[in-house]
Amino acid sequence: MNIQSANLNIRYDWPVWDYRINVIFSKTDGWIEGTNRWFNMNDEGKYISSSVEPAGLCFYGRMDDDEWQQWLLNIKNVATEILGVKIGEIELGEVGDDLWHNKGLEVFGEYQKIYKSNNHRIIEEFYTKPKPQLSELDEIEIEKWLFREEWHSLHDWIASSFQERRHPSTAKFIYDQITNSKIPEFDYKPVTRKLTWALADIGTQEARELLLDLTNSNDPLIKEFAQKRITDWDKEITRKLRMIQSSPRHIDRIKLQYYSESEKLLPQYGNCLSAYQFTDSIVVYQAYKPSIANFATENNKFGGANFSFNRMTWIKPNYLWMMYRSGWATKVDQERILAIRITNEGWEELLSNATISSFKRGYHKSEVEWKKELIASEVRLQWDPNHDPYGNKKDRKAIQIGIKGEMLRKFNDRMILEISDITRFVAKQRIYLEHQQVKHLEIPIETIYEPKRTDLNIGLNLE
């Protein structure tokens, strides 16, 4: 084996180090997760290590020449795909001007130029423009980089974003910004207050411990803000933790959890009636084309020229079933995902009027009886295989409800409390799947729904 080294043009001043670099590393052979090492944690035998230098991302280690060249070629190709720009060795002349083959990721190059410009007007325009191909962790990293700079006046905006996001990954960063005394003086009080609120709204045990530490601050302002949030911690519990940022923004928003945690709350097989639940209501999902979705969110009900009350419409209380059906909001006429909050009474009325869409012994006495009921019913029920985030079938089954006729009008006029467009959230989460980073995937917290009515014959006990 020989000593090897290479220097790739992944710049230190691109905001890609917290998320995208780890994505690249995860797609290379031998990476030891959570480190900058491959194959070996020490320098004996075969190993690769990396470091961030002003000129780029450097790799060095010990490997056979042929294996090194193959490994290096692979990481160049992976990095080019993930970063959207040609990645190669600077010394070999493999790269020149930054030509972004993925225009949606050109924001990384834009930021690097803005980072050097100290131009407030340009940076404000950059910060506020949509970045649809960035994940939320990408956006958070940009906000962190911007917040560290003192020459602009966006600190109040970014602090508000941290508070709105409630992302656990920002807790230590927020604490560090409060304590490092680098917040610009003219923004010090409002920004410090918002950052303290942001820690409280994150709501995790880590965030609470950081707040408790701030109550011992020598700065009376920080101490006052932190003590207030600790005192009101339990009283403000409903506003804490991650929530979907929907449009329009409703007071009671949908709280989130990591997908890996969600599986612990539900059975692994059988028919499972689960949903996101408020005290008085549950959330169901539908996917529509933009014209229908726009009318629904603007009027808090369905209607308009493109929605037909003469067809059956299907609602799904299982979020991942909706993602499977709509291709994560990529299929034609299913580009917009709506979260529809309906009353518990309305939901159980739908269940009590539902006829299962396929004949099963134990549900009806005979197939003749089932067909007769199916023809007469305005509510149809199906148990379909649940799916993991990648669309693979699970042994657990989820319910979906089809509604037509007068019951559809009743659903629209009397059962719906709120309709929210959650498409932006869906699109941001889809990026994690495209990168095979399911550990970052968040979904609504769904729990077993226990019907209050005892006369429901919907196949809950059937396999």
- 97 domain residue, yes or no: no
Looking at the structure, do residues 162 and 301 belong to the same domain, yes or no?
Answer: no
Looking at the structure, do residues 290 and 433 belong to the same domain, yes or no?
Answer: yes
- 246 domain residue, yes or no: no
Looking at the structure, do residues 51 and 196 belong to the same domain, yes or no?
Answer: no
pLDDT score for 371: 83
Return the closest-CA partner of residue 303 out of 416, 380, 386: 416
pLDDT score for 250: 64
Looking at the structure, do residues 52 and 197 belong to the same domain, yes or no?
Answer: no
The per-residue DSSP string of 7-74 comes to EE---TTSS-TTTHHHHHHHTSTTB-TTSSEES-SSSSSSEEEEEEETTEEEEEEEE-HHHHHHHHHH
Task: Indicate the number of domains in the chain.
Answer: 3
353 — phi, psi (to 5°)?
Answer: -100, 5
- 404 domain residue, yes or no: yes
Contact assessment for residue 304 and residue 390, using Cβ atoms and an 8 Å cutoff:
no
- 440 domain residue, yes or no: yes
Single-letter residue type at 202: I
Looking at the structure, do residues 141 and 206 belong to the same domain, yes or no?
Answer: yes
Instruction: Say if residue 376 is exposed, middle or buried (CB neighbours under 10 Å; 0-12, 13-18, 19+).
Output: exposed
Single-letter residue type at 48: I
Count of C-beta atoms within a 10 Å radius of residue 6: 23
Looking at the structure, do residues 385 and 290 belong to the same domain, yes or no?
Answer: yes
Looking at the structure, do residues 210 and 270 belong to the same domain, yes or no?
Answer: no
Dihedral sign from CA coordinates of 38, 40, 44, 46 = negative
pLDDT score for 463: 47
| CA atoms of 316 and 303, how far apart (whole Å) | 19
Looking at the structure, do residues 217 and 310 belong to the same domain, yes or no?
Answer: no
pLDDT score for 356: 85
Looking at the structure, do residues 221 and 341 belong to the same domain, yes or no?
Answer: no
Contact assessment for residue 442 and residue 268, using Cβ atoms and an 8 Å cutoff:
no
- 187 domain residue, yes or no: yes
CA dihedral 444, 448, 454, 460 (to 10 degrees): 110
Looking at the structure, do residues 267 and 415 belong to the same domain, yes or no?
Answer: yes
| CA atoms of 28 and 31, how far apart (whole Å) | 6
- 193 domain residue, yes or no: yes
Looking at the structure, do residues 231 and 138 belong to the same domain, yes or no?
Answer: yes
Contact assessment for residue 191 and residue 180, using Cβ atoms and an 8 Å cutoff:
no
Looking at the structure, do residues 163 and 268 belong to the same domain, yes or no?
Answer: no
- 338 domain residue, yes or no: yes
| CA atoms of 405 and 344, how far apart (whole Å) | 21
Return the closest-CA partner of residue 88 out of 50, 124, 57: 57
Choosing from 204, 239, 274, the residue where a domain stops is 239
Choosing from 213, 239, 265, the residue where a domain stops is 239
- Does residue 190 have a cis bond before it (omega within 30 degrees)? no
Instruction: Name every residue whose Cβ is closer than 8 Å to that of residue 97 and which is 6 or more positions away in sequence.
Output: none
- 107 domain residue, yes or no: no
Single-letter residue type at 360: K
- Structural domain span for residue 16: 2-83
Q: What is the CATH number of the domain that holds 33?
A: 3.30.310
The pLDDT tens digits along the chain (463 residues) read 899 999 999 988 899 999 999 999 999 999 999 999 999 999 989 999 999 988 899 999 999 999 999 999 999 999 999 999 999 998 888 887 678 999 999 999 898 888 778 787 888 889 999 999 999 999 999 999 999 988 888 999 999 999 999 999 999 999 999 999 888 877 889 999 999 999 999 999 999 999 999 999 999 999 999 999 999 999 999 999 999 988 777 667 899 999 999 988 889 889 999 999 999 999 999 999 999 999 999 999 999 999 999 999 999 999 999 999 999 999 999 999 999 999 999 999 999 999 888 777 767 777 777 787 778 899 999 999 999 999 999 999 999 999 999 999 999 999 999 999 999 999 999 999 999 999 999 999 999 999 998 888 787 755 4
Q: Which region holds residue 269: left if phi is over 0, alpha if psi is between -120 and 50, else beta? A: beta
